[in-house]
């Protein structure tokens, strides 16, 4: 199955779940770090529930994903946005699917896309995720699922090493949660340009 078909099926499955109709827990954490107004870029937004929440708060949101009806942005390719153009870049469990080189490059592009003083907020699956024993290892912290999807897992330390050094870290811990996964712990990141 190719990646687009796989994610289309996942989106259909998610759309039938009640949790997909409300903002994620991390979205409500992240807004406390946002400037009061401004432009948000939501990467790998899925069904867009966090984008809708941010819009309801008055932000100007660009919602992107590999799958439409979001603006289609494949994060394997360079971000198609001008430098210094967003106040906030946000991604909820969306930056997992790339090699170490592409992930570092993507973080660099996110940095460039932000205005000075802008914030990057994202949440990630942890290196101790219970899903890992079912996966095939490709590289350090990088695995392939049975469906052929490559997936990277993070720790606060590995994430810090991959980020551009110019970012000022405001929050980096493993206390993140989702409604979907209950008590499972996730890495939360908020950093500022
Ligand atoms: C775990 S889901 C998270 C979706 C949403 N942010 C949420 O938390 O509900 C991962 C998302 O990444 C998107 N995705 C996967 N590969 C991608 C790629 N190469 N470029 C952009 N988005 C991608 C999928 O379509 C999916 O919506």
Q: What mean pLDDT is predicted for residues 104-108?
A: 98
Band (pLDDT 50/70/90 cuts) for residue 69 is confident
Q: Count the neighbouring beta carbons within 10 Å of the beta carbon of residue 115.
A: 16
* Ligand 1 pocket residue status of 186, Cβ below 6 Å: no
Q: How many CA atoms lie within 13 A of 17 on its CB side?
A: 15
Angle at alpha carbon of residue 35, lines to 29 and 40, rounded to 5°: 80
* Ligand 1 pocket residue status of 44, Cβ below 6 Å: yes
* Ligand 1 pocket residue status of 92, Cβ below 6 Å: yes
Nearest atom of ligand 1 to the alpha carbon of 75: 20
Query: By percentage, how much of the chain surpasses pLDDT 70?
Result: 99
What is this structure's pTM? 0.97
| Of 3, 7, 106, 149, best ligand 1 pocket probe by most atoms within 8 Å of the beta carbon | 7
Helix, strand, coil tally for the chain in percent (to 5): 30, 35, 35
Domain boundary assignment for the chain: 3-16+27-192
Q: Which pLDDT value is given to residue 29?
A: 95
| Structure token pair of residue 42 | 């939501």
Closest CA to ligand 1's atom 4: 46
Band (pLDDT 50/70/90 cuts) for residue 182 is confident
Whether 68 has a pLDDT exceeding 90, the answer reads no
Band (pLDDT 50/70/90 cuts) for residue 14 is very high
SS3 of 142, please? Answer: strand
Q: Which pLDDT value is given to residue 189?
A: 98
User: What is the whole-number distance in angstroms between the Cα of residue 94 and the centre of ligand 1?
Assistant: 5
Mean pLDDT score of the chain: 96
Whether 82 has a pLDDT exceeding 90, the answer reads yes
Band (pLDDT 50/70/90 cuts) for residue 156 is very high
Band (pLDDT 50/70/90 cuts) for residue 179 is confident
Selecting from 3.20.19.10, 3.50.50.60, 3.90.1300.10, 3.40.50.150, what CATH number does the domain 3-16+27-192 have? Answer: 3.40.50.150
Band (pLDDT 50/70/90 cuts) for residue 140 is very high
Q: Which pLDDT value is given to residue 15?
A: 93
Q: What mean pLDDT is predicted for residues 156-172?
A: 98
Angle at alpha carbon of residue 42, lines to 71 and 186, rounded to 5°: 135
* Ligand 1 pocket residue status of 7, Cβ below 6 Å: yes
Whether 34 has a pLDDT exceeding 90, the answer reads yes
Q: What mean pLDDT is predicted for residues 153-178?
A: 97
Nearest atom of ligand 1 to the alpha carbon of 45: 6
């Amino acid at each position: 199955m190719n990646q687009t078909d796989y994610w289309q099926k996942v989106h259909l499955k998610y759309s039938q779940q009640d949790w997909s109709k409300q903002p994620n827990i991390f979205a409500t954490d992240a807004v406390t770090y946002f400037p009061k107004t401004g432009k948000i870029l939501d990467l790998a937004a899925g069904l867009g529930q966090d984008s809708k929440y941010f819009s309801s708060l008055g932000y100007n949101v660009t919602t992107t994903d590999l799958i439409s009806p979001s603006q289609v942005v494949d994060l394997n390719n360079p971000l198609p946005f001008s430098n210094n153009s967003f106040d906030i870049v946000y991604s909820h469990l969306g930056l997992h699917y790339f090699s170490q080189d592409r992930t570092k490059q993507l973080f660099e592009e996110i940095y460039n896309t932000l205005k000075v003083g802008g914030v990057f907020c994202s949440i990630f699956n942890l290196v101790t995720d219970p899903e890992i024993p079912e996966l095939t290892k490709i590289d350090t912290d990088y695995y392939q699922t049975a469906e052929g999807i490559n997936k990277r897992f993070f720790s606060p330390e590995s994430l810090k090493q991959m980020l551009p050094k110019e970012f000022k870290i405001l929050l980096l811990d493993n206390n993140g949660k989702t409604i979907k996964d209950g008590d499972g712990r996730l890495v939360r990141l908020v950093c500022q340009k």
